[in-house]
Structure 1
Amino acid sequence: MEGICREDLLVIEKQIGRFPRNVRRVMKRCTYGFPVVIETFPVVEGKPFPTLYWLTCPFLVREISRLEEKGWIREFEKLIMTDLIFRERYIQSHSEIKKRRMNFTKDEFVKTKLSEVGTGGIRDLTKVKCLHLHVADYLAGVKNPVGERVLKMIKNYTCNLQYCAHELFES
């Protein structure tokens, strides 16, 4: 696995509850040094895997899940339909992901399949699918307006309890 060490893989395994497959590197770390976002290869065993960035931070996953439970996926989809500037920025973020994925394969079939979908395999670019996905993209440097707004809603998106150190390694 390119650009990732054994210790990171062990932490990610504890964070997501299974051994991580297809990891290329850690894209973002928290203030305590733990992985927050990983980059995956967009091709697994010769097949397209459209999720380029994966949110691993248990603290952020929990906070974002709370927003999803409150109906924020639907609210963002409404915003995409009614705010032309927001929609254009959102569609542009999908284009940026598509471009980044193309750097990983020369296979024309895989390139075609990956070019047909946005981040996380989203086909209808007026849909959001899940907020975690968009936050991962944003934290990986993609100008994703959904991810940006979600983080603003969370306000302090750094856990102050060293969640990974306490919850993952002291239990």
Structure 2
Amino acid sequence: MIAEADIAVVAEQLGRTPRGVRAVAARCPSGHPNVIQTSPRLPDGTPFPTLYYLTCPRLNSLVSTLETTGLMREMTERLAADAALAAAYRAAHESYLAERDAIEPLGTDVTAGGMPTRVKCLHVHVAHALAKGPGVNPFGDEAIARLAGEWPAGDCVATAGSDESATTAH
């Protein structure tokens, strides 16, 4: 169950009312939700295979910047060359699928973010890594590590600087 106050923060973060929210799966260092867990089906019955959804606007922006560098293509290429990495990524996919299917099976082995054969959305992988902790999603862990110098380690509202994000909830 998710508190109404958290729903309000997530709505502000997204700029819209969130759909299918089950819980806050992770919080930013200042305590705001930054990852939500969503239902496998939206309230209207539409399948929604993305179990973890990144909501923090600051972190979303940083991950988008990573995506523009060609990192996802490089990660996908590494899957073909590194059997251990490919196995860890497949395990992340299987874990994600099992967790989602335990809530409600969708009758598909599609998870999110390109798993298990490619990397197509770092936002999904970062959300998964933040929700489950280190060691579960190798590409989520890697993206978070790459952002370590930019993503705040303390109160993200206080460290956001003078830009607009300093005055809004993350």
Shared fold, TM over 0.5:
yes
Instruction: Please state how far the C-alpha of 1:165 moved relative to its aligned partner.
Output: 7.1
Mark the runs of 5 or more structure 2 residues left unpaired by the alignment. none
Aligned to 1:112: 107
Q: Does 1:125 align with 2:116?
A: yes
Instruction: Please state how far the C-alpha of 1:7 moved relative to its aligned partner.
Output: 1.3
SS class of match (1:77): helix
Which one of 13, 29, 46 corresponds to residue 11 of structure 2?
Answer: 13
Which one of 18, 22, 35 corresponds to residue 37 of structure 1?
Answer: 35
Structure number having the greater helix percentage:
1
Aligned to 1:166: 166
Deviation by residue 1:28-59 (Cα, 9 ceiling, x = unmatched)? 11121100100000122334210000011111
Equivalent position amino acid for 1:112 in 2: G
**Moved runs in structure 1, 4+ residues, more than 2 A?**
44-48, 156-161, 163-167
After superposition, the CA RMSD in angstroms is 2.0
Equivalent position amino acid for 2:107 in 1: T
Deviation by residue 1:112-135 (Cα, 9 ceiling, x = unmatched)? 22xx21235x4x622111101000
Whole-angstrom CA distance in 1 between matches of 2:46 and 2:146: 36
Whole-angstrom CA distance in 1 between matches of 2:61 and 2:46: 30
Equivalent position amino acid for 2:116 in 1: L
SS class of match (1:112): coil
TM-score (norm 2): 0.85
Aligned to 2:20: 22
SS class of match (1:14): helix
Q: Which residues of 2 match residues 12-161 of structure 1 at below 5 A?
A: 12-44=10-42, 45-105=44-104, 110-113=105-108, 116-120=109-113, 122=114, 125-141=116-132, 143-156=136-149, 157-158=151-152, 161=156
Mark the runs of 5 or more structure 1 residues left unpaired by the alignment. none
Deviation by residue 1:60-116 (Cα, 9 ceiling, x = unmatched)? 1111111101111111111111111111100110000110011222xxxx5422xx2
Aligned-pair identity in percent equals 36
Equivalent position amino acid for 1:71 in 2: G
- Is residue 98–residue 119 contact of structure 1 (8 Å, CA) maintained in 2? no
Distance 1:15 1:166, change over 3 A: same
